[in-house]
């Protein structure tokens, strides 16, 4: 039986020399320029001629751009990050045409992430020292934790955050990540604003409100909190059921946008899914239209309108519900139905008048 290891990114701070910082800044600018040029070319081809331009075509364009006087500077940096930018654009279009994402957007000098990705042909990693193409000296990396024994990076990504800090991320196989024993436990998760998460067990996990407390290190604090939280959920539960929230649509609500963004629901889900894949756990997403808050988890009746300010309610069957705990329990029940019976199956529910509900929204199992 072939043994496959999980690929994992190890991220470190580093302190570039002046020459290295200048080279990387030039590379970031060229990556952004090539991405935007290729996006323009692909957009014009489709708009004017209904022609789809693929990665190979944009790669040929890159070669031609380097030969022009105006864009000759693109040849001064490593070609690999530029090719990787074109590959990322191709992936963005693939997601767009599959209706998994919006149309690709141009990279902004001020707002877009400053980064460059290098594959094995564009870096050297020997004796724990990393040297990038076009650089004579290795990077001065702050090794906060060791790489797995014998690990060789397959991809290196260098970035600079808004505070000016430099990071390098090494993608390596990690043989230490293995599936956890099946403990048979399952939990439903309801995302909220007053509480970041409410679990079907009744536990409520507070929202640290990083956005309000400290605007300087928001990303660091949020990511650390979410890493600890998702690791705990994955280690404690075999099955985790979540809501398939469309955060992009929720962010259109001007009153809730900042709180929703601060809660970082999308980042939480992403972390949860890849860690579940690492450790042999299962994540199930319940359709966003499933009325988890309005459905009585005791009798199955669906209540009428329930504004956000209503935090507790009493069903006709006499049971009083905490809105979020009830939603988490319903989410769990729906997800377990999917796991046991297949997509499209959920516990029987009824309308306030006692009649079974007829609409069956699809549920889906995450890959």
Which residues carry out catalysis?
A: 190, 243, 324
Alpha carbon 235 to chain centroid, angstroms: 20
- CA-CA distance, 269 to 18, in Å (whole number)? 38
Q: Which among 177, 159, 270, 164 is positioned nearest to 222, based on CA atoms? A: 270
Sequential DSSP letters for 71-140: TGGGGGS-HHHHHHHHHHHHHHHHHHHTTSSPPP-PPPTTTS-EEEEEEGGGEEEETTEEEETT-SS---
- CA-CA distance, 187 to 252, in Å (whole number)? 29
- CA-CA distance, 120 to 294, in Å (whole number)? 53
Q: Is 342 left (phi over 0), alpha (psi -120 to 50) or beta?
A: left
What are phi and psi for residue 120, nearest 5 degrees?
A: -55, -25
Q: Please state, in angstroms and as integers, the Cα–Cα distance from residue 209 to each residue in 81, 198, 214, 222, 236, following that order.
A: 36, 16, 9, 9, 25
**Helix, strand or coil for residue 59?**
helix
């Amino acid at each position: 039986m072939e043994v496959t290891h999980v690929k994992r990114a190890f991220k470190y701070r580093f302190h570039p020399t002046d020459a290295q910082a200048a080279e990387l800044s030039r590379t970031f600018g060229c990556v952004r320029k090539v991405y935007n040029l290729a996006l323009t070319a692909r957009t014009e081809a489709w708009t004017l001629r209904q022609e789809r331009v693929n990665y190979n075509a944009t790669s040929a364009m890159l070669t031609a751009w380097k030969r022009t006087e105006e864009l000759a500077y693109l040849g001064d940096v490593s070609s690999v990050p530029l090719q990787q930018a074109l590959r990322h654009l191709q992936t963005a279009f693939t997601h767009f045409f599959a209706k998994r994402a919006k149309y690709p957007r141009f990279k902004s000098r001020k707002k877009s992430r400053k980064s460059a990705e290098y594959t094995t042909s564009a870096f050297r990693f020997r004796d724990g020292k990393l040297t990038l193409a076009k650089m004579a000296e290795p990077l001065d990396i702050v090794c906060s934790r060791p790489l797995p024994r014998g690990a060789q990076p397959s991809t290196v990504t260098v970035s600079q955050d808004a505070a000016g800090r430099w990071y390098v991320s090494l993608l390596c196989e990690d043989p230490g990540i293995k599936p956890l024993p099946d403990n048979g436990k399952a939990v439903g998760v309801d995302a909220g604003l007053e509480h970041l998460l409410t679990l079907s067990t009744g536990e409520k996990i507070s929202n640290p409100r990083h956005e309000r407390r400290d605007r300087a290190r928001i990303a660091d604090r949020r990511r650390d909190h979410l890493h600890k939280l998702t690791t705990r959920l994955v280690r404690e539960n075999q099955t985790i059921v979540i809501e398939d929230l469309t955060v992009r649509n929720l962010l259109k609500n001007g009153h809730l946008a900042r709180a929703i963004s601060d809660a970082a629901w999308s980042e939480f889900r992403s972390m949860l899914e890849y860690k579940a894949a690492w450790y042999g756990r299962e994540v199930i997403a319940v359709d966003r239209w499933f009325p988890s808050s309005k459905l009585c988890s005791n009798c199955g009746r669906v209540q009428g309108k329930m504004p956000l300010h209503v935090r507790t309610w009493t069903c006709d069957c006499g049971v009083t519900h905490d809105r979020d705990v009830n939603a988490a329990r319903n989410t769990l029940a729906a997800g377990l139905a999917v796991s046991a019976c297949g997509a499209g199956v959920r516990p029987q529910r009824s309308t306030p008048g006692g009649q079974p509900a007829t609409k069956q929204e699809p549920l889906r199992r995450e890959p």
